[in-house]
Amino acid sequence: SDQSDSTIPATLPLRNDLIGEEPYGAPQLDVPVCLNVNENPYPPDPKVVAAIAERVAAIAPTLNRYPDREHIELRQAFSDYLARESGVRLKVEQLWGANGSNEIMLQLFQAFGGPGRIALGADPTYSMYPEYARDTFTTWQLVHRNEDFTLDVDATIEAIQDVKPSMVVLTSPNNPTGTSLPIDDLEQILAVCEQVPVTGANEGVHPVVVVDEAYIEFRDPDVPTALPLIDSHANLAVSRTMSKAFAFAGARVGYVAASQGIIDCLRIVRMPYHLSAITQAAALAAFDHTDEQLARVAHLRETRQQTAQWLESLQYKGESIKVAPSASNFLLFGGCFDNRQRIFDELLNRGVLIRVVGPDGWLRVCMGTDEEMARFREALAEVLPIVE
Ligand code: PMP
């Protein structure tokens, strides 16, 4: 890539494979309507704000000490939450937290990737996966999805048997498409992985299957979670986060549910004391108020349904706009935008920030408050007819 405006002097011994790389992240712009990073747009209830302040104040006098490295109380809270949210009761030893599911994923790659190892994903998918792979010297490989963005199970199985990855990363709902993964498809993948050897590993070693469920709380009742399969599949890891439905992105708390064996692998690669006492206290306070934190999820699901319907009623240059079926809090729409950057720019000119991501011709919008969605609709209706 073009290095001409880089501030990194060529005299620094930056790793060869990082030369020319850019820090990852969506633009953090100060605009009125931010629908670009899939957050929950509703701020915490004042009661929760007070509870967080109280919990943090209670541990502040102990901040000269390191936090509980094993974050046992928080892992118990993850367990209680999942039992309530998905009806699956897991032991504390089957749960593990970190600073966002970003850090969970990095720890998974640190433990199960590495030089000579391959991680397999399904294109298009979350754009951070290749970065975790790069940072852990893991080869990142993609298998195509079906035209409707569902997993091409046969192609995925073929790819697994062909490349013998150490990790298969599936995302449900998938970002940026919103597509969910049927349990039957996951079971087929698990069955294959339990037979396949891993390139670069000892004999008898099989791939770990990671299901990234960052957006799963936004699913409709017919969409499954992978959690019930954990007890019968030692190589399955299900990643979750407090950042999305739980409206806690700023606190940076993600977690993973898996066999105790997988958790013990992650404990090898984690930084000591990676989760600060402040983070742990804030997360516990939020879990004390789970009802309040999840209060807007049903409404956001409705917003998604209504927005999808509205988008499908629109036309661009005589073509109907397509919307990928979504089980998340965002929608991938378009499919016919021959100049999506212009549409993005014109929306931004009107104070509405969405995301240029996914296959060419598509754009992604995250569900905002009612007022934000009204501004999005108004802006898009204005923009579509004027973009050439
Ligand atoms: N997985 C997916 C699929 C995501 O879209 C995101 C956030 N964009 C994450 C993981 C990471 O979120 P966090 O680190 O905030 O938990």
- Distance (angstroms) between ligand 1 centre and the Cα of 62 equals 31
| pLDDT range class, residue 388, cuts 50, 70, 90 | confident
Q: Give the 3-state secondary structure of residue 204.
A: coil
Amino acid at position 109, single letter: F
pLDDT of residue 26: 83
Report d(CA 16, CA 28) in Å as an integer: 28
Average pLDDT of span 350-372: 98
> Does the pLDDT value for residue 6 go beyond 70?
yes
- The mean pLDDT of the chain is 96
Atom of ligand 1 nearest to the CA of 174: 3
Q: Which residues approach ligand 1 with their CB closer than 6 A?
A: 38, 100-102, 126, 171, 175, 212, 214, 241, 243, 249, 254
Average pLDDT of span 354-358: 97
- Distance (angstroms) between ligand 1 centre and the Cα of 214 equals 6
In the block, tokens 């951070």 appear at 128
Report d(CA 260, CA 200) in Å as an integer: 24
Q: What are the residues facing 258 on neighbouring strands?
A: 237
As a whole-number percent, the residues of the chain with pLDDT over 90 amount to 95
- 3-12, 327-336, 339-348: least confident range: 3-12
pLDDT of residue 3: 45
> Does the pLDDT value for residue 360 go beyond 80?
yes
Q: Are 86 and 172 in contact (CB under 8 A)?
A: no
> Does the pLDDT value for residue 1 go beyond 50?
no
* Atom 6, ligand 1: residue with shortest CA distance: 214
Average pLDDT of span 191-220: 97
pLDDT tens, position by position, 163-178: 999 999 999 999 999 9
Report d(CA 247, CA 244) in Å as an integer: 5
pLDDT tens, position by position, 122-153: 999 999 999 999 999 999 999 999 999 999 99
Q: Are 105 and 241 in contact (CB under 8 A)?
A: no
- Distance (angstroms) between ligand 1 centre and the Cα of 265 equals 21
CA separation (Å) from 111 to 133, 171, 201, 252? Answer: 11, 19, 13, 21
Maximum separation of any 2 CA atoms in the chain, in Å: 65
Q: Are 83 and 290 in contact (CB under 8 A)?
A: no
| pLDDT range class, residue 307, cuts 50, 70, 90 | very high
| pLDDT range class, residue 27, cuts 50, 70, 90 | confident
- Distance (angstroms) between ligand 1 centre and the Cα of 2 equals 28
Q: What DSSP string describes 84-132? A: HHHS----GGGEEEESHHHHHHHHHHHHH--TT-EEEEEES--TTHHHH
- Best residue among 40, 215, 217, 241 to mutate for probing ligand 1's pocket (most ligand atoms within 8 Å of CB) is 241
| pLDDT range class, residue 5, cuts 50, 70, 90 | low
Average pLDDT of span 52-70: 98
pLDDT tens, position by position, 30-51: 999 999 999 999 999 999 999 9
Give the chain's domains with CATH numbers.
16-44+295-383 (3.90.1150.10), 46-293 (3.40.640.10)
Atom of ligand 1 nearest to the CA of 252: 15
Atom of ligand 1 nearest to the CA of 175: 3
The DSSP secondary-structure symbol of 184 reads H
Q: Are 334 and 383 in contact (CB under 8 A)?
A: no
pLDDT of residue 4: 53
Average pLDDT of span 204-220: 98
Average pLDDT of span 55-68: 98
Question: Is residue 373 within a helix (H) or strand (E), and if so which, with residue range?
Answer: helix 370-383
- Distance (angstroms) between ligand 1 centre and the Cα of 101 equals 6
CA neighbor of 276 nearest in space, from 60, 80, 86: 60
> Does the pLDDT value for residue 2 go beyond 60?
no
pLDDT of residue 161: 98
196: region left, alpha or beta (phi > 0 left; psi from -120 to 50 alpha): beta
